[in-house]
Amino acid sequence: MAKTKKKQVQHSKDEGFFEYYAKDNEAFIGAIVLSVIIMAAAGFFIYLIDGAHALYSDAPYKEEADAVLVNVDKYDKEQEVLDDYYKDLPSAERVKHTKVEHYTLYVLDWEYELDGKTYHIEESDKYLSGHKVGDKKTFKVYSYDGIEYKKSPENGITDVLLGLCRIAEVLLAVFLIGIVIAKIKYISRGRKARGGK
């Protein structure tokens, strides 16, 4: 009897995170559906960003431009913020819980020269504080005609988002494989139990 109890305890320790989804059919199906939706969304985002990067990689003219910050503008902005908790309320109730957030929008004007011609790159965001005129920054730029240059998308936050999407896809793939394997093992144990083995 003690041996059986010990075996049961050992088995419960072996049950990990995936076992919950193996035992609960609704949780299992829900996890698969949600994971597939997220993976599809991440895949679509990766497709868009890779397409934007292809504009740079396929361009016949690619340069690294040393730019100088020539102007910094600041604008006082405001936006309405509503907590997710209140978003399902009727519109009249949502208004009561809507807050106005004030922030500063920074617009940076970077200047660089290529082949004797001056170009400008503009960046704008509320997280660009701390910059001052005279700051220097290197941008990757590209051109298809050797005359008009554009900033490569690789300079933006899109690279970080792209990396996160790829990590998310790998983790979700591992998660899906894990719950499917756990489900197969759970069904197999059930069949053996019913067969008296």
Alpha-carbon dihedral 87, 90, 95, 96, rounded to 10 degrees: -100
Whole-model pTM: value is 0.49
Query: What is the residue range of 21's domain?
Result: 1-59+154-197
- Look at residue 148 and tell me if it is in a domain: no
- Look at residue 111 and tell me if it is in a domain: yes
pLDDT in tens, 146-191: 788 888 776 556 667 777 888 888 988 989 998 888 888 888 887 8
Number of domains in the chain: 2
pLDDT in tens, 106-143: 999 999 998 889 999 998 888 888 899 999 999 988 88
In this structure, the answer to whether residues 111 and 66 fall within a common structural domain is yes
Position 70 confidence tier, pLDDT thresholds 50, 70, 90: very high
C-alpha distance from residue 60 to each of 32, 96, 127, 128, 160 (Å): 43, 55, 33, 31, 26
Q: Which two tokens stand for residue 49?
A: 């960003």
In this structure, the answer to whether residues 42 and 86 fall within a common structural domain is no
